[in-house]
Chain A
Amino acid sequence: MQRILLFLYSIRAFLLFVALEAVALWLVVTYNSPQGAVFFNSSNALTGSLLSTKDGFTSYFTLGEANDELARKNAELMDILAAQSFPKDSIYIQVDSIMQANYQFKGAKVINNSLHLRTNHITLNKGSEDGIKVGMGVFNGEGIVGRVKGVTKHYASVISLLHTDLLISSKIKSTEVFGSTQWDGKNAKFAKLRYVPRHVEVAKGDTVVTSGYNAVFPEGILVGTVDSVGVGTETNYLDITLELAADFSSLTYVYLVENNRKEELDSLSQFIPIP
């Protein structure tokens, strides 16, 4: 018995090494599933406050771009507002309210971002007190950005679209053919559109938007444009490369969207037996 203990004592450094590596790999595995609970991330209070202090300094360098972007979005919204205002000499009756207020939008600021790893995340300066919830979709004026993964009181961490495990249900706007957008881990400007059958005709420059099927994003938010179409190695599907609409290297302000009927939609799909 004593000899066993002595032996274990003599290799104590190695045992500690194995234990620490096991902890680290366990963290890697549990954290990198897009679903699943997360205990530690950059949205906790200490990290968040440090990052937002840093952002207080660095955000001045991108103020110009941020202003342009906001002004452009404002103009777009004013167009919509103008189209929806009604002439004063007529009466407007709301016929059906069932499709209204389906989605709720919120705004937030990016305080931390990365784009060179395989699993990239973004931290936002709003949290549960501002109504941010896990699972909300994130986009900006240009296109899709990601999906909320973890929320604390004042901060939220988001899985970037530049995360090889995140799939965004999308469709080609002109033909309504749907597929899934997934990043291939190579270049922050391009992603792949998967599961588009071979018989579909796709042209370079076609617009790809969200499909609205997965109840995270409303239909029609820009994902990107088709950059190249190839036959690919998979027998049934085309190999489509998208040029992403959002510029991930200069994210400043983003919008968050929540589907008020997500639970209802999800509970409905439980009735369908999975083959």
Chain B
Amino acid sequence: MNSKNIFTLTGAFILYFLIQVLILKNLVVFGMGFCLLYVVFILLLPIELSAIPTMIIAFLMGFGLDIFYDSMGLHTASAVMLAFFRSPWLKVITPTGGYDPNTPPTLLNMGMGWFLVYSLPLILLHHLTFFFIDNMGTFLYLPMIYKILASTLFTFVIGVIVQVLFYKKRRGI
């Protein structure tokens, strides 16, 4: 973790944050598919970053988003949930031979198969928490499940597109 790395991460943090609140906030497909692209930012943090700093970054990201979404705690709770389970999950799915040092776990670095296994369950976990808290107190379980599935798919597809377009191999942004 050198200073250049920290600089790019801060830049990516601000960029993802602004894109989320200014553009993607109003982009909801059929009233079902939310695009929570900041999830991809948390997923693509360096592999060496342990759970504690990841959770703190996720907390800050979630809290900032909540202020803009006027949904105190909603993004915070789900982002921290994602960040906590990221490190154990990375350990579970370590490829044979281990991870290369200083490689962010992007699609281009790790391949589609690995990225699918890595990101889909974590995005699903995040969205599950998100919509569960959102629907707390109501009994709208069926719409909630539609929203979870549609949003997971949508976020994943947009995440893949963003990585193909804007990420280089073996490097951050």
Given A13-B55, A116-B31, A21–B80 Cβ distance below 8 Å?
yes
Given A44-B67, A51-B68, A116-B31, A186–B140 Cβ distance below 8 Å?
yes
Chain B: minimal CB distance from A160 (Å):
9
A17: interface (CB < 8 Å): yes
Residues of A within 8 A of B55 (CB): 13, 16-17, 20
Residues of B within 8 A of A114 (CB): 25-26, 69-70
CA distance A119 to B72 in the complex (A): 10
Chain A: minimal CB distance from B160 (Å):
23
Interface residues of B in 46-92 (CB under 8 A from A): 50-52, 55-56, 59, 62, 66-74, 76-77, 80-81, 84, 87
CA distance A114 to B25 in the complex (A): 8
Check if B134 sits within 8 Å of A27, measured CB to CB.
no
A106: interface (CB < 8 Å): no
How many residues of B are counted as interface, with CB atoms below 8 angstroms from the partner's CB atoms? 37
A54: interface (CB < 8 Å): yes
B93: interface (CB < 8 Å): no
Chain A: minimal CB distance from B151 (Å):
10
Identify which of A13, A38, A120 contacts B52 (C-beta below 8 A): A13
How many residues of A are counted as interface, with CB atoms below 8 angstroms from the partner's CB atoms? 43
A28: interface (CB < 8 Å): yes
Check if A26 sits within 8 Å of B73, measured CB to CB.
yes
CA distance A29 to B74 in the complex (A): 10
Check if B135 sits within 8 Å of A13, measured CB to CB.
no
CA distance A164 to B139 in the complex (A): 12
Chain B: minimal CB distance from A201 (Å):
29
Residues of B within 8 A of A23 (CB): 59, 73, 76
Chain A: minimal CB distance from B127 (Å):
13
A253: interface (CB < 8 Å): no
Given A13-B51, A28-B77, A185-B135, A42–B67 Cβ distance below 8 Å?
yes
Chain B: minimal CB distance from A239 (Å):
14
CA distance A186 to B71 in the complex (A): 18
Residues of A within 8 A of B31 (CB): 115-116, 187-188
B143: interface (CB < 8 Å): yes
Can you give 18 A-B contacts (C-beta < 8 A)?
A14-B84, A20-B59, A20-B76, A21-B80, A25-B133, A32-B72, A42-B70, A50-B22, A112-B70, A114-B26, A117-B134, A118-B135, A121-B70, A121-B71, A164-B138, A184-B140, A185-B138, A185-B143
Closest 8 CB pairs of A and B: A27-B73, A121-B70, A31-B72, A28-B73, A24-B77, A24-B76, A13-B51, A27-B72
